[in-house]
Structures are given as structure tokens and as C-alpha cells.
Structure 1
Amino acid sequence: MADLKLVYFAWVREAIGRDEEQVERPAPDVTIRALIAVLAEQGGGHAEAFAQPEKLRAALDQRFVPLDSPIGDATELAIFPPVTGG
């Protein structure tokens, strides 16, 4: 089974200490929110970055999706804070 590439941006990247990592692909019906909860259990920077999932946005294979979306057969999951103007 192929891995899932996780890509992090902005303060999520800073908290975790890297801009990407590979994880074992979860079952297709696992949601992004559920995967984030599992990652947060690793502690350290992951716990800090994923402590408030409601403040995160996600994209599967470069398409914005809600956190309750199943991961399906995506090869890349990007996680980032909301984009703000300025």
C-alpha cells in the first residue's frame, strides 16, 4: 500500500518542524479530521499544530476539501491555516 504525502504550510509547518512527511495511507473512508487526530496523538509539534483542527484547512491532491472529507485514494494531503488577506 502506498504512503500518503503530507505537506504543511505556515504555522503548521513551523510547529511540526518540517514541510512534509510520508505516512502510511489510512483506509479510504478515514476522514482528514480523523487522521489529524491520530497525528496529534504523536505529541510534540504534531500535538501543537493539530490542537485546534477547526483552525485548519486542507487540500487533497491540490483540491480544497472540508476536514470531514474521506481521504480516499489521494496521494497528497496539504494542511494549512486559513489564508488571510492583507
Structure 2
Amino acid sequence: MKISLKFFASVREALGTGQDSLELPQGAATVGAVREALVARGGAWAEALGQDRAVRMACDQVMCGPETAVADGAEVAFFPPVTGG
């Protein structure tokens, strides 16, 4: 299953890219599994997306949690929490 990835704000800056794609490993079918697969790349990926980092996620432009299922062709986005007024 292949999905599209989008990265915003400080996550994009840390990774040096705003988009990527990922062929999910067999059995990986949630947004949490996508995050784990990216962290497994190591380096900047592990630092920017590690479980100790406050990162928000969206699947197909809808905010979601790690348990959200992803389908082939889905778009998964990662971004830092945002506050403002």
C-alpha cells in the first residue's frame, strides 16, 4: 500500500522536505504505524516524529489519532501543535 505524506512548519524544516511517499510494510494500516515506519528511518526522522515529540496528524485532511486506518493512496500529514489568536 502506497501513501502520500505531507509535513508542515517545524516538522518540514527538521526533515528538509514538505512531502514524500511511503510504501507501507505488510500489516501497517494505521496513522500510528505510518509514524513508526518514518521514525524507523532514524536520524532527523526519528527526532522530528519520535513518540516524545508533540506532533499532530491528519489523514485525508481530517485531524486524527494514531489508531485511524489508512487506505491505499491516502494522504497523511504531520505538523506541530499550533496556537494563536
TM tier, smaller: 0.7 to 0.9
Shift of 1:40: 0.6
2:72 and 2:25 map into 1 onto residues whose CA distance is 9
Partner letter of residue 34 of structure 1?
A
Structure 2 unmatched runs, 5+ = none
Contact 1:59 1:77 in 2 (8 A): yes
Normalised by the size of structure 1, how large is the TM-score? Answer: 0.81
Aligned to 1:48: 47
Note the 1:1-86 alignment, pairs <5 A.
Answer: 1=1, 3-25=2-24, 30-52=29-51, 55-73=54-72, 75-86=74-85
Contact 1:5 1:21 in 2 (8 A): yes
Normalised by the size of structure 2, how large is the TM-score? Answer: 0.81
- The count of aligned residue pairs is 85
Shift of 1:31: 1.8
Structure 1 unmatched runs, 5+ = none
Contact 1:59 1:79 in 2 (8 A): yes
Deviations 1:4-55 (A, max 9, x none): 1100001111111100001114568622112211211111110111123661
Moved over 3 A (4+): 25-29
Cα root mean square deviation, aligned: 2.2
Identity %: 40
